[in-house]
Amino acid sequence: MAEKSFKYVILGGGVAAGYAAREFAKQGVQPGELALISKEAVAPYERPALSKAYLFPESPARLPGFHVCVGSGGERLLPDWYKEKGIELILSTEIVKADLPGKTLISADGKSFKYQILIIATGSTVIKLSDFGVQGADAKNIFYLREIDDADKLNEAIKEKKNGKAVIVGGGYIGLELGAALRINNLDVTMVYPEPWCMPRLFTSGIAAFYEGYYANKGIKIIKGTVAVGFSTNSEGEVTEVKLKDGNVLGADIVVVGVGGRPLTTLFKGQVEEEKGGIKTDGFFKTSVPDVYAVGDVVTFPLKLYNEDRRVEHVDHARKSAEQAVKAIKASEEGKSIDAYDYLPYFYSRAFDLSWQFYGDNVGDTVLFGDSNPASPKAKFGSYWIKDGKVVGAFLEGGTPEENKAIANVARVQPPVESLDQLAKEGLSFASKI
């Protein structure tokens, strides 16, 4: 069995892996010390592009345009960059066994990789309807979006089923972004989700009403309060219909499913401590196993701001946790210390000509402010979340970079609030004066 040995191994090929590699290069890594092992065939890239510009009919995003670290204004790390830095990029390699006590990873083709320090950056995988035994869920032209291969297949189907019918199953991030992308490609789009409004994990009913109205004005049909329970196919095995629990049947040439993800922790089950569905770490992303760190979607970490352990699935945390872990590794080698991770939760999305940002925590009472009429030519509105008399979260649609900075600052500072009515009246100016 072929065996390779490295001082550091990053396991995973997503955003967190790419940002970890860049931080190693910044901190100074010797040629041959670091390997990045990914089951994808391409070097790490900015995954959010897949549900946005990648699917645009006009001038779509394509690699090498969105390799990391362009998503945060850094240089693009092309495959040659890894060579120049002496980092071994091991692609199209799936690790099937992780022996943490033996510090060894084994690939599907029997190769073995030894490490001294491991960074787990395996991210999450999509939840599939076939996992729940939904009838016909393995039909052709039912898509999930996680990797560039998925986006390529979806893109081909969009071209092939020109002006056809698309059904989006799910009303979260993926559902809303892909609903917009498919509509821009002139498909007839219907969205289906069980909740009373879209993005219920983050949006209030007031926020959601704007987006649902906006999407309806763009010609997207929305069916709430039901789920897909089966699919019909033609003689080619392609999907033709989506059967809903409420008895409705929708014609479909393309179905896109976005019903959530789950962290990829199976390789490490029983070897590391887990909590809240993720691998438990400290504020330096150290796991319960010496010399093993974990970053990004797979991690449950101490969120200092709220004094509790949380798992955060978002690109911003993937980037920042990766950088923190590498800084911590290098500092401990040099006998130095760094500050524990102090993260402000941040989420954003772009669809059509809309763009929102959210910072902080969405708990407590809420106040909606601004113009949230979906028919407005340039709607700008937001929401604050208030808990124990303090603003703990802030959301803004259509903000300028300065205004987005102001709502981030409010969520971090958590200023006290006298009256909710007053806060609603002041709206954005409340954030701008903090």
Structural domain count, the chain = 3
Q: How many CB atoms lie within 10 A of CB 112?
A: 16
At residue 335's C-alpha, the angle toward residues 333 and 339, to 5°, is: 95
- Report d(CA 141, CA 156) in Å as an integer: 10
Query: What are the angstrom distances between the C-alpha of 425 and each of 344, 374, 398?
Result: 26, 20, 18
Same domain (yes/no): 295, 181: no
With respect to residue 345, please indicate whether it lies within any of the assigned structural domains: no
Which residues of 364-423 form beta strands (DSSP E)? 365-371, 380-387, 390-397
With respect to residue 340, please indicate whether it lies within any of the assigned structural domains: no
Same domain (yes/no): 161, 235: yes
Strand partners, 11: 37, 120
With respect to residue 343, please indicate whether it lies within any of the assigned structural domains: no
Same domain (yes/no): 276, 329: yes
- Report d(CA 277, CA 262) in Å as an integer: 8
Residue ending a domain, choose from 237, 259, 281 = 259
Same domain (yes/no): 235, 154: yes
CATH number of the domain at 147, please: 3.50.50.60
Same domain (yes/no): 311, 329: yes
With respect to residue 26, please indicate whether it lies within any of the assigned structural domains: yes
Same domain (yes/no): 110, 193: no
Q: Among candidates 289, 319, 320, 288, which has minimal Cα distance to 304?
A: 320
Same domain (yes/no): 121, 75: yes
With respect to residue 346, please indicate whether it lies within any of the assigned structural domains: no
> What is the three-class DSSP state of 420?
helix
With respect to residue 339, please indicate whether it lies within any of the assigned structural domains: no
Same domain (yes/no): 140, 191: yes
Residue ending a domain, choose from 243, 259, 275 = 259
Q: Are 275 and 300 spatial neighbours (Cβ–Cβ below 8 Å)?
A: yes
The H-assigned helical ranges of 105-186 are: 148-160, 173-184
- Report d(CA 222, CA 224) in Å as an integer: 6
CATH number of the domain at 392, please: 3.30.390.30
Same domain (yes/no): 306, 412: no
Same domain (yes/no): 226, 155: yes
Which residues of 30-183 form beta strands (DSSP E)? 34-37, 88-90, 95-99, 104-107, 112-120, 124-126, 142-143, 165-169
Give, for all 434 residues of the chain, the pLDDT tens digit.
679 999 999 999 999 999 999 999 999 999 999 999 999 999 999 999 999 999 999 999 999 999 999 999 999 999 999 999 999 999 999 999 999 999 999 999 999 999 999 999 999 999 999 999 999 999 999 999 999 999 999 999 999 999 999 999 999 999 999 999 999 999 999 999 999 999 999 999 999 999 999 999 999 999 999 999 999 999 999 999 999 999 999 999 999 999 999 999 999 999 999 999 999 999 999 999 999 999 999 999 999 999 999 999 999 999 999 999 999 999 999 999 999 999 999 999 999 999 999 999 999 999 999 999 999 999 999 999 999 999 999 999 999 999 999 999 999 999 999 999 999 999 999 999 98
Q: Are 223 and 192 spatial neighbours (Cβ–Cβ below 8 Å)?
A: yes
With respect to residue 71, please indicate whether it lies within any of the assigned structural domains: yes
Residue ending a domain, choose from 226, 242, 259 = 259
Same domain (yes/no): 41, 153: no
- Report d(CA 218, CA 316) in Å as an integer: 29
Residue 53's domain comprises: 3-125+262-333
Same domain (yes/no): 158, 280: no
Residue with tokens 């004094």: 307
- Report d(CA 233, CA 141) in Å as an integer: 10
With respect to residue 412, please indicate whether it lies within any of the assigned structural domains: yes
